[in-house]
């Protein structure tokens, strides 16, 4: 299975990647497509497929949402199988991308490349649309995954037509199905952050522990205690920005698990991660003296996924996060979802990180105590971004 440190968008891709597939342009050398036939809908076939779901080994099982025919719906199911939760707020800035077919499938591809996913098992494929087959095959072409399709009924015409042009194998017995879905996979590399153990509780538990966004200065104990009293929740300590060790301590690991599970868009997750460990959103992360920072282990896959996403959008610049103006409110909402709050100046009236309903109404930027730009209390817009014409003071 290719390592995300060396894997890249295929050389044949020019410009932005689109989830389109043609049987006459199949890449050579792809793993055989496997079709498992379960015409009598035997529960044992489904049990075997679900048991094969082992993200740590690069294998996921996708159970498509019944009767969901929207072009992006299967991409959403793939993201959920990767442990990623879609936005739940309904805020248009937060969720705009989920309804865009190409963006949703690029997010899936970016995560799969970064997270070393090498085998995807899809159940109930006798019910998915011909368009979804096209997207799946396009994803297979791009990422070179092993794709196993379980048909619990008659073979759909779209799949039958595609199989005539694809190298594939078929399984008709339960024993063959078990072999197909549980092919050996390599163990996860040593010292890799266990993103598959992420905390995906959404909506978040009321009263769950929260965090203060790191700045260059470590907050005093009194500051933390005051924030905890105001929020009515435990505030867990985080290192100061720029001082995160390669391996996370317990509070940092808890936050990292939330970042991995509660943010489905790779760029939004990466932007918040860099804001946490470096107090900025640009890549590569740099200190105030211009020296590069070592990326903590828990953030490596997040940044890698964001880079892949930028490539899939056709961006040549791979040294910065491809954030657009409307992404900032989404990053703000992601921070809320993960339980991150801004520091308050001593004596200031406490505020939590408030949601902006539109990216046109983001608050102005002010420097934090360490001299780095951040948002004024009550917001979470990424540091280093500029206010819009509607809110400049």
Confidence of residue 14 (pLDDT cuts 50, 70, 90): low
340-341 and 33-37: which strand pairing?
unpaired
pLDDT value at 258 more than 60: yes
State how far the Cα of 120 lies from the Cα of 180, in Å rounded to an integer. Answer: 11
Please tell me the predicted confidence (pLDDT) of residue 173.
Answer: 96
Across the range 139-161, mean pLDDT stands at: 95
Tell me which DSSP letter residue 360 carries.
G
Tell me the C-alpha to C-alpha distance, in Å, between residue 117 and each of 59, 140, 151, 333: 6, 11, 22, 28
Confidence of residue 9 (pLDDT cuts 50, 70, 90): low
146-151 and 340-341: which strand pairing?
unpaired
State how far the Cα of 116 lies from the Cα of 8, in Å rounded to an integer. Answer: 12
State how far the Cα of 184 lies from the Cα of 300, in Å rounded to an integer. Answer: 25
Confidence of residue 89 (pLDDT cuts 50, 70, 90): low
Residues in contact with 70: Cβ distance below 8 Å, sequence separation at least 6, in sequence order: 99
Q: What is the pTM of this model?
A: 0.84
Across the range 137-166, mean pLDDT stands at: 94
Query: pLDDT tens across 267-299, in order?
Result: 999 999 999 999 876 777 765 555 677 899 999
The tokens for 83 are: 């442990």
The answer to whether 227 and 356 have CB atoms below 8 angstroms apart is no
Per the model's pLDDT, the better-predicted residue between 135 and 381 turns out to be 135
pLDDT value at 374 more than 50: no
Query: What does 10-41 look like in DSSP terms, one character per residue?
Result: -TT--SS------GGGPPTTPPPEEEEE-TT-
Residues in contact with 373: Cβ distance below 8 Å, sequence separation at least 6, in sequence order: 365, 366, 367, 383, 384
Give the residues across from 374 on adjacent strands: 366
Q: Tell which phi-psi region holds residue 138, choosing left (phi > 0), alpha (psi between -120 and 50) or beta.
A: alpha
Query: What does 234-281 look like in DSSP terms, one character per residue?
Result: -EE--PPTT---SS--HHHHHHHHHHHHH--SHHHHHHHHHHHHHS--
Please tell me the predicted confidence (pLDDT) of residue 267.
Answer: 94
Query: pLDDT tens across 197-216, in order?
Result: 887 677 788 889 999 999 98
Question: How far is C-alpha 254 from the chain's CA centre?
Answer: 16
Please tell me the predicted confidence (pLDDT) of residue 185.
Answer: 73
Across the range 233-242, mean pLDDT stands at: 93
The tokens for 363 are: 């608050």
State how far the Cα of 118 lies from the Cα of 113, in Å rounded to an integer. Answer: 9
Please tell me the predicted confidence (pLDDT) of residue 24.
Answer: 74
Give the residues across from 367 on adjacent strands: 373
Which secondary-structure segment (H or E) carries 158? helix 157-163
The answer to whether 87 and 146 have CB atoms below 8 angstroms apart is no
To the nearest whole number, what is the mean pLDDT of the chain? 81
Radius of gyration from C-alpha coordinates of the chain: 22
Across the range 344-367, mean pLDDT stands at: 39
Q: For the chain, what percent of residues have pLDDT higher than 70?
A: 79
Please tell me the predicted confidence (pLDDT) of residue 358.
Answer: 35
State how far the Cα of 175 lies from the Cα of 141, in Å rounded to an integer. Answer: 28
State how far the Cα of 333 lies from the Cα of 328, in Å rounded to an integer. Answer: 9
Across the range 47-56, mean pLDDT stands at: 95
Q: Residues in the chain, how many?
A: 393
For 276-297, letters b (16+ CB in 10 Å) and e give bbbbbbbbebeeeeeeebebbb
């Amino acid at each position: 299975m290719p390592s995300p440190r060396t894997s890249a968008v295929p050389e044949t891709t020019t410009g932005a990647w689109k989830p389109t597939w043609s049987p006459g342009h199949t890449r050579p050398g792809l793993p055989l497509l496997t079709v498992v036939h379960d015409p009598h809908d035997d529960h044992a076939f489904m049990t075997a497929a679900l048991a094969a779901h082992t993200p740590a080994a690069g294998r996921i099982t996708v159970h498509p949402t019944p009767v969901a025919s929207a072009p992006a719906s299967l991409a959403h199911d793939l993201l959920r199988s990767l442990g990623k939760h879609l936005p739940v707020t309904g805020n248009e800035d937060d969720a705009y991308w989920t309804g865009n077919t190409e963006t949703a499938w690029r997010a899936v591809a970016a995560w799969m490349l970064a997270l070393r996913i090498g085998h995807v098992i899809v159940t109930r494929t006798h019910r998915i649309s011909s368009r979804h087959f096209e997207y799946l095959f396009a994803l297979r072409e791009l990422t070179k995954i092993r794709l196993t399709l379980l048909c619990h009924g008659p073979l759909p015409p779209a799949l039958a037509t595609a199989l005539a042009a694809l190298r594939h194998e078929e399984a008709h017995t339960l024993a063959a199905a078990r072999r197909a879905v549980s092919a050996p996979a390599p163990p996860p590399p040593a010292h890799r952050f266990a993103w598959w153990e992420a905390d995906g509780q959404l909506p978040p538990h009321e009263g769950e522990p929260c965090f203060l966004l790191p700045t260059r200065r470590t907050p005093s104990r009194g500051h933390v205690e005051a924030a905890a009293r105001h929020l009515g929740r435990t505030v867990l300590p985080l290192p100061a920005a720029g001082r995160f060790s390669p391996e996370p301590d317990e509070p940092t690991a808890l936050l990292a698990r939330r970042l991995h599970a509660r943010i489905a868009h790779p760029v939004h997750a990466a932007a918040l991660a860099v804001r946490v460990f470096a107090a900025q959103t640009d890549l590569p992360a740099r200190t105030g003296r211009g020296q590069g920072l070592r990326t903590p282990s828990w953030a490596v896959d997040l940044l890698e996924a964001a880079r892949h996403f930028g490539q899939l959008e056709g961006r040549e610049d791979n040294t910065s996060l491809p954030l657009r103006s409307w992404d900032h409110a989404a990053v703000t909402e992601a921070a809320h979802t993960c339980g991150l709050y801004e520091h308050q100046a001593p004596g200031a009236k406490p505020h939590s990180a408030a949601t902006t309903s539109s990216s046109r109404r983001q608050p102005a930027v002010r420097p934090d105590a360490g001299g780095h730009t951040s948002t004024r209390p009550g917001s979470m817009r990424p540091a280093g971004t500029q206010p819009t014409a509607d809110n400049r003071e």
